[in-house]
Amino acid sequence: MASSSKRQQTMAKRNREQAVKEKAALKLEKKYAAARERQAKAAEEMYGHLRGPEEASRGPEGTEQP
């Protein structure tokens, strides 16, 4: 007959599961960052011609770029 008591989870198993969750979260974060970068690049290519010459030399924070 199967016992109805729960087995206690070991710290090693918890640590492994936490590491897997953290790795998945980092992967998602990188994926979203890459998607934002692609969107920004596409928007720049699409609407970059609408900027004036003084605005085209500025960076995303409004600072001058070399």
Domains of the chain, by residue range, sit at: 11-50
Q: What is the CA radius of gyration of the chain?
A: 24
- When pLDDT is averaged across residues 36-52 and rounded to a whole number, the result is 83
What pLDDT, in 10s, does the model give residues 17-36?
999 999 999 999 999 999 99
pTM beyond 0.75:
no
